Amino acid sequence: MECAEAIVVEVIETSKQFNTVVVGLGKTGFACARYLAAQGTSFAVTDNRDEPPMLGKMQAALPDVPLFLGGFDESLLMSTDHLLLSPGVSLQEDAIVKAIDSGVEVYGDIELFCRNITAPVIAITGSNGKSTVTTLVAEMARAADLNVVEGGNLGTPALDLLGDNEPDVYVLELSSFQLETVSSLNAIASVVLNVSPDHMDRYEGLTEYKTAKERIYNGNGTIVINLDDPAVASMARNQRTCVDFTLFDPLPGDYGVRDYDGERWIVKGEDKLIPVNDLHIKGEHNIANVMAAMALAETLNCPRAAMLSVLRSFPGLQHRCQWIA
């Protein structure tokens, strides 16, 4: 017992030296650690696994950063100013709950990202399709000669997108886990593509999952709404600028699908945009993805011709259903 008590005391004394503790050493946690190290922040990293995925890279890149592995020590988490929570770690974890109750500020990489940028953000979430829409919006912005970087849940972690020179726009794919710890996101435009039962091991039910997704609509920007998904269509609009899309006949100013002499077209209001058969990505879900991407890119003043050019050449993402010439 004397040995165990000595270890606890050592951890408590050590943790008081840390401004921040990174919780979770996966891809996102490692990005958080690199960012904090570059800022000169005093921090430690903890993971409840003995050998987290990025352990080797962490030890090679930042050998002097203290690591606490194999469990979450409550004294460590409660004796710091900030917990930088990886998306794979639940806010309901007992040690996290106790840290929050003790007054420790808890947030994730997206919140830290939002606190350190001035360029506008396009934000995308949904149970399905978010990687496709993120890629489409980024390509449409590039076709409009905008300097754009994309990442988040897809590809590059958000903090790794930060550099000396900001782009014209960030395009972020965000998961419900990432959105749980965000309070400063104020996207120029955002979308919840759809909501279907997913991650139910993390949430008590679909309502809680929907609530996490809906956080992407916090702020003052344009919100894009999928009218065909009841969970999304019922989300609060709060007198915001809204653009809706549907696979059916749209209202004026919204995106939809209309039949002209037996040929289906994507339209905006009364404007014909592109025949569905001209798209290389197939399926009703991809028609919805295309309309969401156009609605988002439109807020960046991307010319319609640039958006349509991307749509006529976009083959889809690797490891998904792709068009092959």
**Residues that are catalytic:** 130, 153, 199
Instruction: Work out the number of other CB atoms within 10 angstroms of the CB of residue 258.
Output: 14
User: CB burial class (10 A; 0-12, 13-18, 19+) of residue 216?
Assistant: buried
- β-strand 271-275 against 263-268: which pairing, if any? antiparallel
Residue 201 in contact with residue 180, Cβ under 8 Å?
A: no
Q: How is 122-163 classified by DSSP, letter by letter?
A: EEEE-SSSHHHHHHHHHHHHHHTT--EEEEESSSS-GGGG--
Tokens linked to 319: 């490891």
Nearest to 176 by CA among 188, 193, 164, 160: 193
Backbone CA torsion sign across 45, 41, 181, 139: negative
Distance CA 251, CA 284 (A): 19
Residue 124 in contact with residue 193, Cβ under 8 Å?
A: yes
Residue 315 in contact with residue 280, Cβ under 8 Å?
A: yes
Q: Tell me, what amino acid is at 142?
A: R
Instruction: Work out the number of other CB atoms within 10 angstroms of the CB of residue 172.
Output: 28
Helical (H) or strand (E) element with 291: helix 284-298
Residue 172: strand pairing partners: 123, 151
Residue 225 in contact with residue 233, Cβ under 8 Å?
A: yes
